Structure formats: structure tokens, C-alpha cells
A and B are shown apart, each in its own frame.
Chain A
Amino acid sequence: MNESMNLIIAGRTKRRRRFILVTILLAIIAFALCCSMLMLGNTIYPVSDVINVLLGEKVRGASFAVGTIRFPRMVAGVFAGFAFGISGHVFQTMLRNPLANPNVIGITAGSSAAAVFCIIVLHASNAFVSLASIIGGLATVLVIFLLSKGTSFSIGRLILIGIGIQAMLDAVVSYLLLIGQHHDVPTAMRWLSGSLNGSKMENLYPLMITVLILTPVIISFGRRLDMLELGEQMATSLGINTNKTRLMLIISSVLIIALATATTGPIAFVAFLAGPIAKRLVGVGFSTLIPAGLVGIILVLASDLIGQFAFVARYPVGVITGILGAPYLILLLIRMNRKAEL
């Protein structure tokens, strides 16, 4: 009896150690990528120059390149990556299906359609665009959930309806891009697949503030999220108000993801990839929310570096994450079909 107890405790300690180790490692990798985002470019600046610029000193050349271009780009990547990673993971856990991420069920499409509409048709200010994309995202979620309610909630129906809604919103986006005044290719790219190009500090504040406020909310509900994963009935019998938990989590993750979409465009597949990768690294037993956010950061920054420097042409980050993510999605589908999980 005692021995088995000890075994359980030992196992838990081992898992905890692994959790902490993995999280720290992920944070270190993310930090290293941040540094290389700041240092690398047409001109490579040494660490000392970068630090000086960040401390506010004037360094010839570096002040502009690092301070005005690379730093906002890095910040945009960090916050958007974290936002996509953590909220994607929330959706996957909550709906108990790795396929149920904000891209597949059409939420990012709602946000980008609203944002593109405000920019191209209304010529709206940044604050208004952020607001509109939040409303667009929330409205899309609401419509999808209401339509998929039916007699009993089913994830399959939710996904199918999400894809239908997405088809309509995508049509809106491509039409708006077509009537947009001077066929601005970089803007179009941002709204089609996500890009960090042209990030400016003043556009990033809404996203930064929301992420900083809502991450603690999501994490505090995270424990209950793990129980939701056990299934509706199990969670209820463990004393969880499933509807309230679900509502809070949905609203916070949609807010985060809508702002991230309004800032960088829908960076493909980050929300979808981060959760499963983090889960595999961390193992079971601990909340994978923070690691998922970190994996999101790593995916976005690494893909952006690859997109900028690995090829002759410069690719926006969304194209790289798309090419990396899509094969994984197909593999996942094949595996799920084989196991008859669909």
C-alpha cells in the first residue's frame, strides 16, 4: 500500500520536473529567437548594440533598424504567437478534438473579414479595426454555436457549420481585396495568410494589453479546463459549472484571437499546432496552457526567420506556418480516420 503510494508520488514528482524543465526550455528557445529577430537582418548588429538601442541610447543605423523595424516585428510575433497558441489550445481541449481550432471553425475568418471591411471600405482607425475584429470574431462564434446547437451538441456538426460560415467570409475577404484601391499585395497577403511585415508599435498595444489581462483569466480556468476534457458529465460531477467555465473560456480566447488576427492577420495553423506539440512535450497531468503559448511564440518567430532569410524571396510568416502545418493536419486526419475517431 505504502509502496504504491510512493510510486504514485514519485511519478508525479517526475512529471512535475519534466513539466518545469520543458517550460523553461521552451522559454529559453523563445528568448533566443527574440534575440535573433533583433540581431539578424540585412545588417547584423552585435548584442551590445541591440541592448543599447533597447535601453534608449542612439546608435547610428541600429536605432532605426532595430528600434523601429525589428523590435515591433518581434513584439508582434511574440504576442500573436502566444495568443494563437494558448487560445487554440483552449478550443482544442474544450471541444475535445484536435481539429477544433479557431481556423477550422471559422473564427479567424470572422475577425479578418471584419478587419478587412473596416480598412478597405470604411478606412477606419486602428482602434476601430481592433474593435470590429473582436465583434466579428465573437459574432462568428455565436452564430456557429447557435446553429450547431440542434438537439444535442456535436463537434462534427460544429466543424461542418464552421466550414460553411468560413466559405462565406472567405468570399467576402477575397472580394474586398479585389475592390481595394491600389492592389496592395502586402496588405492582401496579411489578410490571406498572416504576416508580421510592417508591424508598428502603436498598433500593437491593444493586443499586448488584452493578452496580459486575459492570460491569467484563462490560466485560472485552466484547471477546470482539464476536467472538462474528461467529458461533460464527469466535469459536472466533479462540481464544475460547465456552462460558465465554457463561456468564460470562449469569450477570453476569442477576444485574444480576434485581436491577434486584427494585428497580424490569421497566421495559419499556429493555433492548431501549438497545443498538440506542447502536450507531447509536457506529457499528461499538468496544464499545458503556458507551454502551448510558448510553442506558439516559437513557431511564429522561427517561421518568420525562415521566411525572411532561408529563401531568395521573402515570405510572410503565414505561408511558412501553412506549409509546415498542413501536412501535420493531413497526417492527423489519417490517424484519426484509422482509429475511427471521427
Chain B
Amino acid sequence: MDHTTVSENKQLIIPKKFIQVFVLTIVLLIISVLASLAFGSRTVGWNELMDGLFHPDVQSHGANVVRQRIARTIFCLMCGGALGVSGALMQSVTRNPIADPSILGVNTGAALFVVSGITFFHISTAGQYIWFALVGAIITAIFVFGIGSMGSGGATPLKLVLAGAATSAALSSLVMAIMIPRSNVMDQFRFWQVGSVGAGNWSSISIFIPFLVVGLVIALFSAPALNALALGDEAAKGLGVRTGTLRLVAAFGGVLLCGATTALAGPIGFIGLLATHLVRLVIGPDLRYIIPMSALAGAVILTISDVCGRMLGSPGELEVGVVTAFIGAPILILITMKAKMRTL
């Protein structure tokens, strides 16, 4: 009897607002998925869309186009979700509003390792890219956090961003140095470097799934402790959180998610920043809600960006990395303009 009241209470704790926002986001998600399936260099009508999705025996051209787009759309949703959660994790681990893999130079680290892999170890499949990218991302993240958190005041946004920009610059010079004598590597790399979900297919999805699951599990389990961390290190320790271990695990989850995405889709910037800030603005600071909502918001934003890129760049496509830079960088600027200098 007691047991049920407790669980009922728990049910009540979930804020009404969260449910509303959740439903709204799901609706947006469905709309963006349908848009992603329907729009492109050839726009598909409703009937053909339904044929493509639910009637595998219908063989019209439109239905086949839709089936082609299914893998890309799923891949896009996964990338967006991973980047959203990764942003939320990184921001709360560093207690820093602008931590995003692209700003922190983690993407360039992944890029350097992928290029080295292509050049020196002759890797060529997504399954091999992903391990190199992960190692690169982890090493770069440690390096950038290390530099950024030196001195008094810990890792302020300014210090982290500068450390990230400097590291990015250094690493991209190395990338260039490796690539220039080898035009075949350059060609392979140039398309990867822009950041696009166009390469998404069933095999990249199946490679991605384990990384996504591990990252999401880490994120969801560390959320309550990260809430405590938001109160400050001292307070978190007082509440019985092992802050060192927590930071390590959560940061690992964040880097895992963004490293895997970068390996498969190329560097896509600003989704983590954008999704997490939007979500926090709407539902408040509780990470237990922010993390799942960031995943949804990231998926919606990336899918819509991808659709926009396909519409704007028609008959080709505008790579999604370009679109997200244009939506996301203004957000960075807005955050900076609003922030009090003390906190920078």
C-alpha cells in the first residue's frame, strides 16, 4: 500500500510542463521525419510516402525514393540525438554554458586521427573510422580541458574556447600536412570534413547503435548525480557524489557520443549547444529531463537542418554541417552577449 503511494508521488513529481513539451517535441519529431522522407531533389506526395513506408509490394518510383531516404533519416535522428546528449553532458561536466564538441576542438582531434588512419593504416570503412575518431576525440578532449582549466577560476568559457580554438588550429595544420602530398586522401577527406548525413546507410546505423546505447545509458544514469554537481563541487561531495569519478564517466559518455557521430557523419557543429540551451530555456535546469529532451531536440533540429539543406541546395544539397553552423553560431553569440563578464 505504502509502496503505491510512493510511486504515485513519483509520478506526480514529473512536471506537467515536461509532459507538454515532450508531446510537442514528439509531434515536431514526426513532422520532421515525414519532411525528411518527402522532401529532397524529388518531392514525394503523401500517397507515395505511405506506399513507401507501409506497402513494401508497391513499386512506384516515389515509393522507392522514400525507401532510399529511410536509412538517411534514421541516421540523421541518431546523430542529432547523440550530439544533443553529448552537449548536455559536456556542459554539465564542465559547468560551462558553451561546451560543445565543435567549439572544444574535439571534432578536429577526431579528424586528425581519421586522416592518419586513412594515410598510415589504410583504413577505409566506417567501422574502422569510428575507433580512430574516438581515440582522437578523447585525447583532444583531455588536452583541451587540461589547458582550459589551468589557473584560478577553473574552466571558464573564454579559457575553454580559446584552448579549443588553439588546439583546433594546431591539429588542422597537421591534418593539412598529412593530406597535401596525397591527393586521394584529400579527396576522401574533403567530403567528410564538411559534415553530412548523406552518407548514412544501414551499415553505418548498425555500427552506430552500440555507441549510441552505451552513451545514452551513461547519460541517463549519471543525470541525478550531475544535478548535484550543478550545485558546485563542495555541495555535490556533501551529497555523497564522487565528483571525480562522475566527471570522468559523464565526460567519457559525452566524448563517446560526439566522437562516434563525428566519425560517421563528419564534424557537425553546434547541435549540442543549440539543443541543450533550448531545452533548458523551456523546462528548467533538471538534467533528468534535460538529457532525454536534448536527445529529442537534437534529433529534431538536425533533421530539420538536413531537410533545409536539401531544399536550399537543390538539385544537390547543402551539407547539414553548413546549415547547423549558421543556426548554431548565432546562439553562441547570443549566449556570449547575455553573459555577464564575470562568468566568462
Q: Which one of A66-74, A149-157, A212-220, A224-232 is at the B interface?
A: A149-157
B9 interfacial contact with A, CB 8 Å: no
- Counting contact residues on chain A (CB < 8 A from B), the size range is 35 or more
Q: Give Cα A151–Cα B50 distance, bound, in whole angstroms.
A: 55
Residues in chain B within 8 A of chain A (CB atoms): 98, 102-103, 147-148, 150-153, 156-159, 161-163, 165-167, 169-174, 176-177, 180-181, 183, 186-187, 190-191, 193-194, 269-270, 316, 318-319, 321-322, 325-326, 328-330, 332-333, 336-337, 339, 341, 344
Complex Cα spacing A313 to B322, Å: 31
**Complex: A193 Cα to B177 Cα, angstroms:** 11
Q: Could you tell me if A147 and B190 are in contact, using CB atoms closer than 8 angstroms?
A: no
Does A312 interact with chain B (Cβ within 8 Å)? yes
Q: Measured between alpha carbons, how far is A164 from B157 in the docked complex, in Å? A: 13
Q: Which of B173, B186, B316 contacts A322 (CB 8 A)?
A: B173
Using a CB–CB distance below 8 Å, which chain A residues touch chain B?
99, 103-104, 147-148, 150, 152, 154, 156-157, 159-161, 163-165, 167-168, 170-172, 174-175, 177-179, 183, 185, 188-189, 192-193, 268-269, 312-313, 315-316, 318-319, 322-323, 325-327, 329-330, 333-334, 336-340, 342
Given A150-B337, A168-B325, A333 and B147 contact (CB-CB distance below 8 Å): yes
Contact of A175 with B176 in the complex, beta carbons under 8 Å: no
Looking at the assembled complex, report how far the CB atom of A309 sits from the nearest CB atom of chain B, in whole angstroms.
14
Q: CA of A103 to CA of B172 in the docked complex: distance in angstroms?
A: 14
Q: How long is the Cα–Cα vector from A164 to B328 in the complex, in angstroms? A: 9
- Indicate if the CB atoms of A178 and B344 lie closer than 8 Å: no
New A-B pairs, 17, CB < 8 Å, besides A175-B318, A340-B153: A103-B169, A157-B336, A157-B341, A159-B158, A163-B332, A168-B329, A171-B321, A174-B322, A183-B187, A193-B172, A313-B180, A315-B177, A330-B147, A337-B151, A337-B159, A342-B151, A342-B159
| Given known A-B contacts A168-B326, A333-B162, A322 and B181 have beta carbons under 8 A apart | no
Contact B169–A174 (Cβ < 8 Å): no
Q: How far is the CA of A269 from the CA of B173 in the complex (A)?
A: 11
Q: Which residues of B contact A177 (CB under 8 A)?
A: 190
Which chain B positions have C-beta within 8 A of A160? 98, 157-158, 161, 332-333, 336, 344
Cβ-defined partner of B169 (8 Å) among A147, A167, A326: A326
User: Which residues of the partner chain B approach A103 to less than 8 Å between Cβ atoms?
Assistant: 169
B177: chain A residues within 8 A (beta carbon): 315, 319, 323
Known contacts A163-B103, A192-B176, A171 near B325 by CB under 8 Å = yes
Residue of B nearest to A175 (CB): B322
**Contacts known (A185-B186, A326-B169, A342-B151); A333 close to B336, Cβ less than 8 A:** no
* Contact of A322 with B162 in the complex, beta carbons under 8 Å: no
- Interchain nearest-CB distance for B159 vs A (Å): 5
Q: Which residues of B contact A337 (CB under 8 A)?
A: 147-148, 150-151, 159
Q: Which residues of the other chain, B, contact A183 by a CB distance below 8 angstroms?
A: 187, 190
* Residues of chain B contacted by A154 (CB below 8 angstroms): 341, 344
Q: A178-B194, A333-B162 are in contact. Are A319 and B270 (CB under 8 A)?
A: no
Min CB gap A335→B, angstroms: 9
Does the CB pair A163–B165 fall under 8 Å? yes
**Residues in A whose Cβ lies below 8 Å from that of B339:** 157
User: Which of A164, A178, A326 is the one whose CB lies under 8 Å from B319?
Assistant: A178
Q: Is the CB of B330 within 8 A of A164?
A: yes
Chain A positions within 8 Å of B180 at CB level: 189, 313, 315-316, 319
Q: Which residue of B lies closest to A186 (CB)?
A: B180
CA–CA, A188 and B332, complex, Å = 28
- A157 surroundings in chain B (CB, below 8 A): 336-337, 339, 341, 344
**Can you report 7 residue pairs joining A to B where beta carbons are below 8 Å apart?**
A99-B162, A152-B341, A154-B341, A160-B158, A160-B332, A175-B318, A342-B156
Q: Is the beta-carbon distance between A175 and B153 smaller than 8 angstroms? A: no
> Complex Cα distance A40/B63, Å?
64
Q: Give chain B nearest CB distance to A314 CB in angstroms.
A: 8
Q: Say yes or no: A193 contacts B176, CB within 8 Å.
A: yes
Residue of chain A at shortest CB distance from B98: A160
Given contacts A164-B329, A167-B325, A168-B325, contact A329 B173 (CB under 8 A): no
- Contacts A147-B337, A174-B194; A167 near B329 (Cβ below 8 A): yes
Whether B173 contacts A323 by the Cβ 8 Å rule is yes
Could you say which of B147, B180, B181, B190 has the most chain A C-beta atoms within 10 Å of its C-beta?
B180
* B159 with A319: CB separation less than 8 A: no
Q: Please give me the 4 A-B residue pairs with the lowest Cβ-Cβ distance, nearest first.
A: A322-B173, A326-B170, A313-B181, A171-B325
Q: How far is the CA of A131 from the CA of B128 in the complex (A)?
A: 46
- Bound: A8/B150 CA distance, A: 39
